[in-house]
Amino acid sequence: MNSTFELASALIAEPSITPDDKNCQKLIIDQLKPLGFECETIVSNGVTNLWARHGTSGPLLVFAGHTDVVPTGPVEKWGSDPFTPTVRNGRLYGRGASDMKTSDAAMVIAARDFILSHPDYKGSIGFIFTSDEEGIAVDGTDVVVKLLDERGIHPDYCIVGEPSSLTKLGDTIKNGRRGSLCGKLTVIGKQGHIAYPKRAANPIHLAAPAIAELSATVWDKGNEYYEPTTWQISNIHAGTGANNVIPGELFVEFNFRFCTASTVDSLKERVCAILDKHGLNYRLDWNYSGVPFLTPRGSLCDALSEAIKEKTGITPELSTTGGTSDGRFIARICPQVVEFGPVTESIHQIDENVPVSDIQPLTDIYRRTLEKLFL
């Protein structure tokens, strides 16, 4: 088996359930330090992060990943122990095999092979790893990005090794992600006996027209890279549990997945305008976990696409679908951020796996992208 397979297997063997890194980043440091990388461990509230850099000149390309994994679920339902890397039917099984320890290993080995082959390349290669991507993501990549920003370190390119391929390795590059904006709405009415509705004010009835308008609103039309912004209710609750009481309050949780055609402020303003239009007495608390980012076609997308085509014969599609990723943090200091990694089919599932035949091509694609950008 090749070096990437060996490192990926060693990483999978570490039960690094978020936010515990276990020994993963030490294994990575052991690969990077002999190459001349300066490695800095950054601990924040129990989260382990790594910033590593080779070279001092520009341009700077950063590989980004995470060493934490989601819980395994019922271990007895796995075909093999989730933290014992196992090959069956041409696939490497284990928690983190596709999300994203194989990518972690491939990025490291690709950088190693590139540096050994081209020791005098012009530029720098960096790594950001965190053990807090699968969790609340407060003390992970965001912390490292803020530190780099304070130091005036602004990468030119970033490849996040998140699984991005849909059915075959190389069919999709994520060149952006939608933003996520959550709202917690409380509509205030007046509790009362259900037989005397004139003495009460049912917040469900009061809010229903506004909710209908919110659900029917076209927030934007999207653009070349993004589907239109969506608004969805995730939770709704009212009542005491009794069937003869008009509730005093209605609680609604909703979420925007929004594109670059809208902004946080514009969405907030439009929601409040609709609620005010319907004369509601309400409280509304907002939380957003990330604004959208976008890397248009250009040097990074082109280099990665060409490398994929050379190694797989596939011309990848650019996509901005899916949830949020740590790319949203890195995009604050880096103008070109993309995500590329294994097939997403088994991520977070029982018997998570990656085809063994994809491991070396993934490494080759990362290495070839470095060659196209630096040589």
326 is catalytic: no
Q: Which of 132, 133, 249, 351 is catalytic?
A: 133
Task: Say whether 134 counts as a known binding-site residue.
Answer: yes
In the chain, ranges of CATH 3.30.70.360 domains: 179-290
Element (H, E) at 31: helix 24-32
Coil vs helix vs strand at 375: coil
| Residue 285 CB coordination number (10 Å) | 10
Helix (H, G, I), strand (E, B), or coil: what is residue 22?
Answer: coil
Pairing of strands 230-238, 179-188: unpaired
371 is an annotated ligand-binding site residue: no
Q: With a threshold of 0.75, does the pTM exceed it?
A: yes
99 is in an annotated binding site: yes
Q: Does residue 138 contact residue 326 with C-beta atoms inside 8 Å?
A: no
Instruction: Report, at the CATH architecture level, how domain 3-177+292-374 is classified.
Output: 3-Layer(aba) Sandwich (3.40)
Q: Catalytic one among 14, 20, 21, 68? A: 68
Every domain range in the chain assigned CATH 3.40.630.10: 3-177+292-374
205 is in an annotated binding site: no
Cα–Cα distance measured from residue 150 to residue 142, given in angstroms and rounded to the nearest whole number = 12
pLDDT in tens, the chain (375 residues): 699 999 999 999 999 999 999 999 999 999 999 999 999 999 999 999 999 999 999 999 999 999 999 999 999 999 999 999 999 999 999 999 999 999 999 999 999 999 999 999 999 999 999 999 999 899 999 999 999 999 999 999 999 999 999 999 999 999 999 999 999 999 999 999 999 999 999 999 999 999 999 999 999 999 989 999 999 999 999 999 999 999 999 999 999 999 999 999 999 999 999 999 999 999 999 998 888 999 999 999 999 999 999 999 999 999 998 888 999 999 999 999 999 999 999 999 999 999 999 999 999 999 999 999 999
- Annotation-wise, does 348 bind a ligand? yes
326, 160 contact by CB (below 8 A):
yes
Which CATH number applies to 179-290? 3.30.70.360
* 76 is annotated as an active-site residue: no
